[in-house]
Amino acid sequence: MALNVVVGITGGIAAYKAVNVVRSLVLAGHDVHVVATDAALRFVGRPTLEAISRNPVHTELYEGVAEVRHVAIGQAADLIVIAPATANTIAKLAAGIADDLLGNTVLASTAPLVIAPAMHTEMWQNPATVDNIATLRGRGVHVVGPAVGQLTGRDSGPGRLEEPEVIVAAALAVHAEHAARLAASGDLSGRRVVVTAGGTREPLDPVRFLGNRSSGRQGVAIATAASARGAAVTLIAAHLEVQPPSDVALVEVSTAVELQQAVADAAVDADIIVMAAAVADYRPTSVAESKIKKETQGDTLELSLVKNPDILAELGAARRSGAYPRLRLIGFAAETEADDAALLELGRAKIARKGADLLVVNRVGWNEGFATDGNSVVVLDGAGAIVSEAAGSKMSVADRILDAIVALG
Ligand code: CTP
């Protein structure tokens, strides 16, 4: 798809390299509009930029006023790339200053903004620039480079403009990610999604429990992403180690039996249930009224456990007998199996047993899966086929899982 790309060029020696940024984008089929500052045109000629971009080069704020050019260029842009971005331009962007055409273009645009800084190392490391870059990053601006290497004078260090092909590849990737996010936004609107997250705790006595290492991060990420995609979300939370999002209905539970009740209540009008919680398979047969004491137990202590309800399997069975006809049911399988093929076989057997529409299989271990920001999963359908594989932050994995759920219809 051809994009309308604005390439902003500001006044640094590296401006000559911007010609190759423009050229790569044009050769990739994009419609490129150069907005150069006056200072940039001291380093690289307007005719060169017009010939390479195949479009007029804009510099003047007071040109084309009748067509409201100072906002029109930004409004039409799919992507803005500023290369090179000088320390001065970065400061102006951070402050939202619009005293030239480029500043107005950026402020008038909702397109992703990618900047490729270029300056001497001292300027790059100056606290003012460091703060400005942090401010821009915090607003979602993507910063490419600078590279470390030979600078304009005899010095070398961080501050060199990143190579044009690296800037172009990064900018197009930023646009692709932005477009994917936009496409996904709203695709769950009007749907009621129930997500269980965290790990249940089964009390042994008033001070002890049997639990597991689930932190709730992946389930919370799914609830957050589903809400961002327009769903009305109920989060059934068992001992989360992370903050739940504020825009979901939160139901806090502790044990598997409490979770079962909360899920049953929420299932009545749910469209989608995602069982990300780690549910204890067994609970103590009886809970001691008072603290279990060493003196009365001696050297060994035997616990008697009784099976908990399998909430996912029960929902799957209820569906098979005609209940919840429009419900989509998603299970998780946390497995310690090291071999990939064997892991998938366990997943296939599990989804058949549980009667879910999708099963998210992930490997867990002493150092894997829990309390980390990353995850790597394979999503299986009811027939055991792989419908999606995702690795990355728990938030990006959440979005890929939701993509697979949306694809169920
Ligand atoms: N689950 C559930 N109720 C249980 C146990 C698990 O609803 N009592 C759900 C989990 O929320 C998850 C899925 O079933 O979505 C699979 O959980 P997992 O612990 O991997 O499987 P188990 O059924 O417990 O099987 P096993 O531990 O023997 O592998």
Same domain for 174 and 230?
no
Q: What is the pLDDT of residue 179?
A: 84
Atom of ligand 1 minimally distant from the CA of 308: 8
Domain that holds residue 126: 4-185
pTM beyond 0.75 = no
Atom of ligand 1 minimally distant from the CA of 354: 14
Query: Which residue is closest in CA terms to ligand 1's atom 20?
Result: 333
The tally of domains found in the chain comes to 2
Q: What is the CATH number of the domain that holds 397?
A: 3.40.50.10300
Task: Decide which of 150, 185, 220 is a domain's last residue.
Answer: 185
Count CB atoms within 10 A of the CB of residue 66.
Answer: 6
Average pLDDT taken over every residue of the chain: 92
Q: Please name which of 277, 183, 181, 273 lies closest in space to residue 233, comparing C-alpha atoms.
A: 273
Arithmetic mean of pLDDT, 2-17: 92
Same domain for 179 and 227?
no
Same domain for 349 and 286?
yes
Q: What's the pLDDT tens digit per position in 87-131?
A: 999 999 999 999 999 999 999 998 999 999 999 999 999 999 999
Q: What is the pLDDT of residue 178?
A: 87
Place 67 in a pLDDT band, splitting at 50, 70 and 90: low
Buried b (16+ CB within 10 A) or exposed e, 284-317: beeeeeeeeeeeeeeeeeeeeeeebbbbbebbbe
Q: Concatenated DSSP letters for 286-299?
A: S--SS---HHHHTT
180 has pLDDT over 90: no
Q: What's the pLDDT tens digit per position in 359-402?
A: 999 988 777 777 677 788 999 999 999 999 988 778 878 989 99
Same domain for 231 and 355?
yes
Q: What is the pLDDT of residue 268?
A: 95
Best mutation site among 305, 312, 343 for ligand 1 pocket (most ligand atoms within 8 Å of CB): 312
Same domain for 159 and 292?
no
Q: What's the pLDDT tens digit per position in 193-214?
A: 999 999 999 999 999 999 999 9
Best mutation site among 279, 283, 354, 370 for ligand 1 pocket (most ligand atoms within 8 Å of CB): 279
Distance CA 224, CA 231 (A): 10
Query: Which residue is closest in CA terms to ligand 1's atom 17?
Result: 333
Same domain for 60 and 172?
yes
Same domain for 81 and 160?
yes
Task: Decide which of 185, 207, 231 is a domain's last residue.
Answer: 185
Helix (H) or strand (E) holding 51: helix 46-53
Query: Which residue is closest in CA terms to ligand 1's atom 21?
Result: 333
Q: What is the pLDDT of residue 69?
A: 66
Same domain for 165 and 196?
no
Arithmetic mean of pLDDT, 13-27: 95
Same domain for 227 and 373?
yes
Place of tokens 């005719």: 47
Q: What is the CATH number of the domain that holds 152?
A: 3.40.50.1950
Q: What is the pLDDT of residue 151?
A: 78
The answer to whether 212 is a known catalytic residue is yes
Ligand 1 binding pocket, CB closer than 6 Å: 256, 275, 277, 279, 281, 308, 310-312, 331-334
Distance CA 396, CA 399 (A): 5
The residue from 20, 88, 126, 212 that is catalytic is 212
192 has pLDDT over 90: yes
pLDDT > 90 in the chain, percent: 78
